[in-house]
Amino acid sequence: MIEDKELIERILQGEKEAFEMIIRKYENPMLNYIGRMVGERELALELTQEVFIRSYTSLNSYQPQYKFRSWLFKIASNLVIDYWRKKKVATFSLNHRNVRENQKQSIQVADDEPSIIQKFELSQLRERIDQILEKIPASYRELFVWRHINELSYEEIAEIKELPVGTIKNRVFQTKEIIRQLLEERP
Protein backbone atom coordinates (compact mmCIF):
# COMPACT_ATOMS: atom_id res chain seq x y z
CA MET A 1 0.00 0.00 0.00
CA ILE A 2 1.22 3.48 -0.89
CA GLU A 3 2.27 5.59 2.10
CA ASP A 4 0.16 8.61 3.04
CA LYS A 5 3.17 10.89 2.64
CA GLU A 6 3.59 9.93 -1.01
CA LEU A 7 -0.14 10.27 -1.67
CA ILE A 8 -0.17 13.76 -0.16
CA GLU A 9 2.74 14.82 -2.35
CA ARG A 10 0.91 13.53 -5.42
CA ILE A 11 -2.30 15.37 -4.42
CA LEU A 12 -0.36 18.61 -3.96
CA GLN A 13 1.07 18.11 -7.45
CA GLY A 14 -2.51 18.03 -8.76
CA GLU A 15 -3.19 14.30 -8.98
CA LYS A 16 -6.86 13.96 -8.04
CA GLU A 17 -6.80 10.15 -8.07
CA ALA A 18 -4.37 10.18 -5.15
CA PHE A 19 -7.01 11.89 -3.02
CA GLU A 20 -9.56 9.24 -3.97
CA MET A 21 -7.06 6.66 -2.68
CA ILE A 22 -6.90 8.57 0.61
CA ILE A 23 -10.70 8.54 0.83
CA ARG A 24 -10.85 4.78 0.16
CA LYS A 25 -8.22 4.15 2.81
CA TYR A 26 -9.91 6.19 5.56
CA GLU A 27 -13.64 6.16 4.70
CA ASN A 28 -14.52 3.22 6.97
CA PRO A 29 -12.29 4.13 9.93
CA MET A 30 -13.71 7.66 9.75
CA LEU A 31 -17.31 6.43 9.58
CA ASN A 32 -16.65 4.14 12.56
CA TYR A 33 -15.36 7.08 14.58
CA ILE A 34 -18.03 9.60 13.56
CA GLY A 35 -20.79 7.01 13.63
CA ARG A 36 -20.01 6.09 17.24
CA MET A 37 -19.82 9.76 18.16
CA VAL A 38 -23.13 10.90 16.64
CA GLY A 39 -25.05 7.61 16.60
CA GLU A 40 -26.98 8.14 13.33
CA ARG A 41 -25.78 6.51 10.12
CA GLU A 42 -26.98 9.14 7.62
CA LEU A 43 -25.61 11.99 9.68
CA ALA A 44 -22.34 10.11 10.15
CA LEU A 45 -22.03 9.61 6.38
CA GLU A 46 -22.68 13.31 5.76
CA LEU A 47 -20.08 14.36 8.35
CA THR A 48 -17.58 11.82 6.99
CA GLN A 49 -17.95 13.40 3.54
CA GLU A 50 -17.45 16.81 5.12
CA VAL A 51 -14.22 15.67 6.79
CA PHE A 52 -12.73 14.67 3.44
CA ILE A 53 -13.86 17.90 1.78
CA ARG A 54 -12.37 19.98 4.61
CA SER A 55 -9.15 18.00 4.54
CA TYR A 56 -8.80 18.54 0.79
CA THR A 57 -9.47 22.27 0.99
CA SER A 58 -7.01 22.74 3.85
CA LEU A 59 -4.37 20.30 2.66
CA ASN A 60 -1.88 23.12 2.21
CA SER A 61 -1.92 23.69 5.97
CA TYR A 62 -0.99 20.06 6.71
CA GLN A 63 2.45 19.76 8.26
CA PRO A 64 4.22 16.57 7.16
CA GLN A 65 5.98 16.07 10.50
CA TYR A 66 2.63 14.90 11.91
CA LYS A 67 0.91 11.69 10.91
CA PHE A 68 -1.69 12.31 8.24
CA ARG A 69 -4.34 10.16 9.94
CA SER A 70 -3.88 12.12 13.20
CA TRP A 71 -4.47 15.32 11.24
CA LEU A 72 -7.53 13.79 9.56
CA PHE A 73 -9.03 12.65 12.88
CA LYS A 74 -8.38 16.08 14.36
CA ILE A 75 -10.45 17.62 11.58
CA ALA A 76 -13.16 15.03 12.28
CA SER A 77 -13.09 15.74 16.02
CA ASN A 78 -13.45 19.49 15.45
CA LEU A 79 -16.29 18.86 13.02
CA VAL A 80 -18.15 16.69 15.53
CA ILE A 81 -17.68 19.34 18.25
CA ASP A 82 -18.93 22.05 15.84
CA TYR A 83 -21.95 19.92 15.04
CA TRP A 84 -22.81 19.48 18.73
CA ARG A 85 -22.32 23.18 19.40
CA LYS A 86 -24.72 24.05 16.60
CA LYS A 87 -27.23 21.52 17.90
CA LYS A 88 -26.52 22.68 21.46
CA VAL A 89 -25.98 19.12 22.65
CA ALA A 90 -24.11 19.00 25.96
CA THR A 91 -22.41 15.69 25.26
CA PHE A 92 -19.03 16.78 26.48
CA SER A 93 -20.11 17.07 30.09
CA LEU A 94 -18.46 14.63 32.46
CA ASN A 95 -21.58 13.31 34.07
CA HIS A 96 -20.67 9.78 35.02
CA ARG A 97 -20.04 9.10 38.64
CA ASN A 98 -16.89 7.16 37.86
CA VAL A 99 -15.34 9.71 35.56
CA ARG A 100 -13.23 12.28 37.30
CA GLU A 101 -11.25 14.78 35.28
CA ASN A 102 -7.48 14.47 35.70
CA GLN A 103 -7.85 11.48 37.96
CA LYS A 104 -4.33 10.34 38.64
CA GLN A 105 -4.81 7.50 41.10
CA SER A 106 -4.88 3.94 39.79
CA ILE A 107 -8.07 1.93 39.80
CA GLN A 108 -7.62 -1.00 42.16
CA VAL A 109 -9.08 -4.40 41.47
CA ALA A 110 -11.87 -5.18 43.97
CA ASP A 111 -11.74 -8.37 46.05
CA ASP A 112 -15.28 -9.47 45.18
CA GLU A 113 -15.27 -8.36 41.58
CA PRO A 114 -18.13 -10.05 39.69
CA SER A 115 -17.29 -11.58 36.37
CA ILE A 116 -18.80 -10.72 33.02
CA ILE A 117 -17.43 -13.98 31.62
CA GLN A 118 -20.21 -16.04 33.19
CA LYS A 119 -22.82 -13.42 32.40
CA PHE A 120 -22.42 -12.92 28.64
CA GLU A 121 -21.60 -14.71 25.45
CA LEU A 122 -19.09 -12.79 23.30
CA SER A 123 -21.74 -11.70 20.77
CA GLN A 124 -24.06 -10.50 23.57
CA LEU A 125 -21.20 -8.66 25.15
CA ARG A 126 -20.42 -6.79 21.90
CA GLU A 127 -24.04 -5.73 21.58
CA ARG A 128 -24.11 -4.47 25.18
CA ILE A 129 -20.85 -2.59 24.77
CA ASP A 130 -22.21 -0.74 21.73
CA GLN A 131 -25.29 0.25 23.74
CA ILE A 132 -23.26 1.34 26.77
CA LEU A 133 -20.84 3.35 24.61
CA GLU A 134 -23.64 5.76 23.71
CA LYS A 135 -23.92 6.69 27.37
CA ILE A 136 -20.22 7.34 27.92
CA PRO A 137 -19.31 11.07 27.98
CA ALA A 138 -18.24 12.05 24.48
CA SER A 139 -14.79 13.33 25.43
CA TYR A 140 -13.97 9.88 26.88
CA ARG A 141 -15.82 7.90 24.21
CA GLU A 142 -13.81 9.66 21.53
CA LEU A 143 -10.50 8.52 22.99
CA PHE A 144 -11.82 5.00 23.52
CA VAL A 145 -13.04 4.72 19.90
CA TRP A 146 -9.73 6.01 18.54
CA ARG A 147 -7.76 3.57 20.64
CA HIS A 148 -9.82 0.41 20.36
CA ILE A 149 -11.82 0.77 17.14
CA ASN A 150 -9.57 2.91 14.98
CA GLU A 151 -6.48 1.30 16.59
CA LEU A 152 -4.59 4.56 17.00
CA SER A 153 -1.64 4.52 19.37
CA TYR A 154 -1.83 6.48 22.64
CA GLU A 155 0.88 8.76 21.21
CA GLU A 156 -1.21 9.55 18.12
CA ILE A 157 -4.27 10.30 20.27
CA ALA A 158 -2.15 12.53 22.51
CA GLU A 159 -0.98 14.37 19.37
CA ILE A 160 -4.57 14.89 18.18
CA LYS A 161 -5.86 16.11 21.52
CA GLU A 162 -2.64 17.94 22.45
CA LEU A 163 -2.64 16.25 25.86
CA PRO A 164 0.01 14.18 27.69
CA VAL A 165 0.10 10.47 26.79
CA GLY A 166 -0.46 9.59 30.47
CA THR A 167 -3.71 11.56 30.57
CA ILE A 168 -4.96 9.83 27.43
CA LYS A 169 -4.07 6.37 28.80
CA ASN A 170 -5.74 7.13 32.09
CA ARG A 171 -8.96 8.26 30.42
CA VAL A 172 -9.09 5.23 28.13
CA PHE A 173 -8.53 2.89 31.12
CA GLN A 174 -11.27 4.67 33.06
CA THR A 175 -13.66 4.31 30.11
CA LYS A 176 -13.04 0.56 29.96
CA GLU A 177 -13.60 0.24 33.68
CA ILE A 178 -16.86 2.21 33.44
CA ILE A 179 -18.00 -0.11 30.65
CA ARG A 180 -17.06 -3.17 32.70
CA GLN A 181 -18.88 -1.86 35.77
CA LEU A 182 -21.99 -1.00 33.75
CA LEU A 183 -21.93 -4.48 32.23
CA GLU A 184 -21.81 -6.00 35.70
CA GLU A 185 -24.65 -3.82 36.95
CA ARG A 186 -27.08 -4.66 34.17
CA PRO A 187 -29.25 -7.77 34.40
Partner 1 sequence: MNCPSADQIYSYLENELTSSENKAIEKHLLICLKCRKALEVRKFLLQAIETLPSWQVPSGFSQQVMDRIFPVKVSIRGWLTAFASGFVAFVLGFFIYVLATGQNLSSLLINLNQSLLEQAKSISLVFIKFFKLISVSLKIIHQLSGQFIKALTLLTTLFSPEVQIIIIIFTLILITFSIYGIGRKFLIGEKQ
Binding positions for partner 1, rule: CB under 8 A: 16, 19-20, 23-24, 27-28, 31-32, 35-36, 41, 44-45, 48-49, 52-53, 56, 106-109, 111, 113, 115-117, 122, 125-126, 129-130, 148-149, 154, 169-170, 173, 176-177, 179-180, 183
Q: CA 47 to CA 41: how far, in whole Å?
A: 10
Q: CA 95 to CA 91: how far, in whole Å?
A: 9
CB of 162 to partner 1, least distance (A): 21
- Close Cβ partners of 18 (under 8 Å, ≥ 6 residues apart): 7, 8, 10, 11
CB of 82 to partner 1, least distance (A): 18
Q: CA 165 to CA 45: how far, in whole Å?
A: 30
CB of 96 to partner 1, least distance (A): 16
Pick between residue 57 and residue 63 the one whose CB is nearest to partner 1.
57
Pick between residue 93 and residue 118 the one whose CB is nearest to partner 1.
118
- HSE (side-chain half, CA atoms, 13 Å) at 179: 22
